[in-house]
A and B are shown apart, each in its own frame.
Chain A
């Protein structure tokens, strides 16, 4: 271990100057100041867990996006762009935009009108306690475990990039998040996420600008990538006709139906980590506009994530490699693309802001995990199953302690991963097991009034079980990949796409069959929860430019245009 750390220390990518450190310390001071400032406004459950439900569309929308924009997201997808080319942009466009618009225009009214505080809370109203328990327990534990894995990965990156001690990085970053979320609750998390969103852009935007100048523009960049890697790396769709023709080994059906229709809809419409931010909106129009604003900005994120990965293919003098190979040979891994590009262009000050952007990304993602965990634990597990009739102050106190506890469990997970690296793969796979089936359950719950409590629970259980089963099948017998992912050459990402698709189908089919065999609730019982028996409030006589549908159409049109441009 010591030898490994010594190696990492000598191979640090960048050296920070005094002004860089001042910028980083100022950032930590500011997020803590916001937490202390908002403490007095987090005294009731509604304030602490739902930010008083008074966020504007802009704040909820930027926070909605920022909670997803973790540093691993930034560095991981920049690395994926280096590895797979512009195909990685699918995770930002078809893998996000349609789902975000669907959440805004179709699902948000039901979440908002039902006044639920969480996605498991909606399942309780629609399908009963058993469905809520299944989804809340799985969500709570997977969330803190994922948070720990992200924490460890971030600390490792800071070690490699800056030579910082892993323990110090973990405890200072996690401790800061614990303090500002425990003090100010969801409002503090949201405010800091908006600040972090701006800092991420301020710190990362220079890389693509300077990179494009160095490469000589987009056309020259494509020529250089074709020479250094392959011309396929700059095409979004035209290489997806066969899984053998593109760097990812995926067919377009996997991207469209697995990623675009199931995984992204599952994540963006039912993962409480992101949905919680929108539930804090001040009214239904703001709640519908927030995901649309998030979608608009999401469309530009490839500019600071995917483009640097592509630029690295053209301008970096060295070849990057997988993590294990990099450690063994002393080279640089794919995940180091962003820090390498930062070190290439950014001098004192700019470097500090770039590193702050990476730390801000990590903290916004972690705060998102922790605040979502706190709400689900307190409302959907503790209040529902352990102590039902306590005072509001009691639950707020539980929320504060639970925030600290969630951070501590995350830190524990980080240390566990440090010793047993394979846990990381298992937990990431575990998390993916619940997303696709949950989307099937929530979707049928909102749009099909015939779906019953038994149908919802059985579908969710069967979908999750089938996802676990398919994953285990490929683990035991790798040749099963040809059935699960429809190609023996499919990579991990392609397998995930198809596994999500099959598990969603199983969930939907089981839900429908069991529902048709059991007794549904009456229309009166479903009011406010299901399409067809719920009165959606009119938006009134507002101008066109204030209507969510109008902006949804604008974002959809822009989405179509970028896909054609980079076809």
Chain B
């Protein structure tokens, strides 16, 4: 999964999912606490919160599993 022995692409993907997930989760929580005047369709499902949490968890898992310090050598 890391051709050439360098940092794995899956590590970069993990970082990307983790950062995006955190931002989405944070936005979802903010919207939950401060509902907009014109809510979106299905706003009651709070998709930002659970989708952000899923992406954050996946990103953390990939970042850890494929981190350069773990996969070195």
Stretch of A55-63, A381-389, A553-561 at the chain-chain interface: A55-63
List B6-36 residues whose CB lies under 8 Å from chain A.
6-7, 9, 12-13, 15-17, 19-20, 23-28, 30-31, 36
User: Chain A residues near B3 (CB, 8 Å)?
Assistant: 51-52, 54-56, 59, 187, 282
Q: Mark B23-53, 1 if CB is under 8 A from A, else 0.
A: 1111110110000100011110101100110
Chain B contacts to A: CB under 8 angstroms: 1, 3-4, 6-7, 9, 12-13, 15-17, 19-20, 23-28, 30-31, 36, 40-43, 45, 47-48, 51-52, 55
Q: A52-B3, A54-B4, A206-B51 are in contact. Are A347 and B27 (CB under 8 A)?
A: yes
In which size bucket is the chain A interface? 35 or more
Q: Are A347 and B23 in contact (CB under 8 A)?
A: no
Q: Are B13 and A349 in contact (CB under 8 A)?
A: no
Give the docked Cα–Cα distance between A374 and B26 (Å).
42
Chain A contacts to B: CB under 8 angstroms: 17, 19, 22-23, 26-27, 30, 34, 37-38, 41, 51-52, 54-56, 58-59, 187, 191, 194-195, 198-199, 202, 206, 210, 213-214, 282, 315, 344-350, 352-353, 356
Q: Are B4 and A349 in contact (CB under 8 A)?
A: no
Give the docked Cα–Cα distance between A194 and B25 (Å).
24
Most buried by B among A27, A52, A345: A345
Q: Are A347 and B48 in contact (CB under 8 A)?
A: yes
Give the docked Cα–Cα distance between A172 and B56 (Å).
28
Closest residue of chain B to A280 (Cβ to Cβ) is: B3
User: Chain A residues near B4 (CB, 8 Å)?
Assistant: 41, 52, 54, 187
User: Chain B residues near A202 (CB, 8 Å)?
Assistant: 17, 20, 55
Q: Are A350 and B47 in contact (CB under 8 A)?
A: yes
Most buried by A among B4, B16, B25, B30: B16
Please, could you name 12 A-B residue pairs with CB atoms under 8 Å apart, sorted by A? A17-B27, A30-B12, A34-B12, A52-B4, A54-B4, A56-B3, A199-B16, A202-B20, A202-B55, A349-B25, A349-B28, A350-B27
User: Chain A residues near B13 (CB, 8 Å)?
Assistant: 194-195, 198
Closest residue of chain B to A38 (Cβ to Cβ) is: B6
User: Chain A residues near B30 (CB, 8 Å)?
Assistant: 348
Partner of A345, one of B20, B25, B31, B47: B47
User: Chain B residues near A214 (CB, 8 Å)?
Assistant: 41-42
Give the docked Cα–Cα distance between A287 and B70 (Å).
28
